[in-house]
Amino acid sequence: MLGLYLHVPFCSSICNYCNFNRGLFESGLKDRYVVALEREIRQAGRGEAVDTVYFGGGTPSLLEPGEIGRLVQACRETFEVTSDAEVTLETNPETSNVQRMDGFRAAGVNRVSFGVQSFRDAELRRLGRLHSADRARAAFAEARAAGFDNISLDLMMWLPEQSTGNWSESIDQLIEVGPDHVSLYLLELYPNAPLKEDMARAGWSQAPDEDAAEMYLGGLAALDAAGYRQYEISNVCRAGRESRHNVKYWTDGEWLGLGCGAHSTRGGERWKNVSATGEYVDRVTAGQRPAIDIRTMTDHECLEDALFTGLRLTAGVNVDRVGRRYGIDVWARYGDDLQPFVEAGVLRREGPNLRLTREGMLVANEVMQVFV
């Protein structure tokens, strides 16, 4: 089934490491954006079945619950949204309180994903985040009190000045909080990130590469021991709490991205919307489609995508099924290049499945390069 991604590009302040499509919150622009996004939703569908709706950003929780409700309603009136659809709202802890959480729930949201990033205040300050560890814990409690039984927390590792011990501390605190789903991301310093300048000025550094690997493996081991199951390179969950929306990205699924800068993959085509918020609003308001870069994917590109995104899953990718879908023998085509990784013990062939071992996930990019 189709998934819907709805982008909300507004933030209360801009974090020094952030490379997403976002800008500072402006009330007037936000009002016009919500109208445009609702219009795009209504123009995008023809009653297709949808089982996931994902509000990502930016900070979607800066919208009022009533605005989220209008957008969810527009999805329901335009698509055949299943009664058990997963409706996720990315939320920043500083935007949460009990009333807003109640409101988001009443608006149809049934899954909340909090950008916590760290349970150490010094680390949060270095990243320019607005919340504290206590506020993150309180936000989680507010979401539970509002009835959310599917809550995800994001943590970032390899932060400036973060030791492996500091990282374990954040993981322990997260386990104590008890979310249903956890995403672990490695800090990526893109060229010209203001954080790079902050680090140079303050003399902050990142731990050596070996420590980053230890953080990843140690964090996952602690989460294993606490009863979580890893299902993707960066994601673990309690039983049945996988992100159904994100799984579409890794299983050759289809989704529509709505809002500025959102990407879509559907019916063998891939496109993105214009990135600039104002331009997006102007286009949609003028009745124009905001999509640019519309490309028909070749079978070869679809095959490569299916293989390298599928490898992100711990279950791996069923190469027989993918091969049948695209009419090739995957092992005959790629086997010679894959074999060294199998021999090194980072890649396993298990029946029709090809999967990375946990150590293999540390070198996932090298393995995936075989397919692209």
Pick 115 or 310: Cβ nearer ligand SF4: 115
User: Collapsing DSSP states into helix, strand and coil, what is residue 301?
Assistant: helix
Determine which residue in the list 45, 58, 219, 360 makes contact with ligand SF4, applying CB under 6 A: 58
DSSP state of 313: B
Contact yes or no for 55/68 (Cβ under 8 A):
yes
CB of 58 to ligand SF4, least distance (A): 5
Scanning 54-62, 106-114, 167-175, 346-354 for contacts with ligand SF4 by CB under 6 A, the matching segment is 54-62
Q: Tokens standing for 54?
A: 């994902």
Single out the segment in contact with ligand SF4 by CB under 6 A; choices: 14-22, 174-182, 286-294, 312-320. Answer: 14-22
Q: Does 195 bind ligand SF4 (CB under 6 A)?
A: no
For ligand SF4, what does the binding mask look like between residues 107 and 146, x meaning CB under 6 A? --------x-------------------------------
Q: Does 57 interact with ligand SF4 (rule: CB under 6 A)?
A: yes
| Of residues 115 and 360, the one with the C-beta less far from ligand SF4 | 115
| Distance of closest approach, residue 37 Cβ to ligand SF4, in angstroms | 17
- Shortest Å distance, C-beta 25 to ligand SF4: 10
Of the candidate spans 11-19, 100-108, 196-204, 359-367, the one that interacts with ligand SF4 by CB under 6 A turns out to be: 11-19
What Cα–Cα distance (Å) separates residue 222 from each residue in 18, 78, 154, 160, 214?
28, 43, 16, 22, 12
Interface with ligand SF4, residue 22, by CB under 6 A: yes
* Closer to ligand SF4 by Cβ: residue 2 or 159: 159
Q: Binding residue for ligand SF4 (CB under 6 A) from 1, 18, 175, 217?
A: 18
Q: Does 186 bind ligand SF4 (CB under 6 A)?
A: no
Residue count, binding to ligand SF4 (CB under 6 A): 11
Q: How far is the CB of 188 from ligand SF4 (least distance, A)?
A: 12
Please provide the distance, in angstroms rounded to a whole number, between the alpha carbons at the two ends of the chain.
26
Q: Which lies closer to ligand SF4 via its Cβ, residue 15 or residue 53?
A: 15
Q: Is 20 in the site for ligand SF4 (CB under 6 A)?
A: yes
Of the pair 58, 108, the CB lying nearest ligand SF4 is at 58
| Side-by-side strand order, sheet with 49-57 | 229-232, 235-237, 181-186, 151-157, 111-117, 80-91, 49-57, 2-8, 255-258, 263-266, 269-273, 291-296
H/E stretch holding 365: helix 364-368
Strand ranges (E), the chain: 2-8, 10-11, 23-24, 49-57, 80-91, 111-117, 151-157, 181-186, 229-232, 235-237, 255-258, 263-266, 269-273, 291-296, 317-318, 347-350, 353-356
Beta partners for residue 347, in sequence order: 356
Q: Binding of ligand SF4 at residue 261 (CB under 6 A)? A: no
Does residue 15 bind ligand SF4 (CB under 6 A)? yes
Distance CA 183, CA 113 (A): 9
Among 59, 96, 264, 277, which residue sits at the site for ligand SF4 (rule: CB under 6 A)?
Answer: 59
CA 155 from chain centre, in angstroms, equals 12
CA distance 98 to 349: 48
CB of 208 to ligand SF4, least distance (A): 25
What is the nearest approach in angstroms of ligand SF4 to the Cβ of residue 84? 29
**Cβ(51)–Cβ(85) under 8 Å?**
yes
Burial of 36 (0-12, 13-18, 19+ CB in 10 A): buried
- With a CB cutoff of 8 Å and minimum separation 6, the contacts of 293 are 271, 272
Q: Which residue is nearest to ligand SF4 (CB)?
A: 18
Q: Which residues bind ligand SF4 (CB under 6 A)?
A: 11, 14-15, 18, 20, 22, 57-59, 92, 115
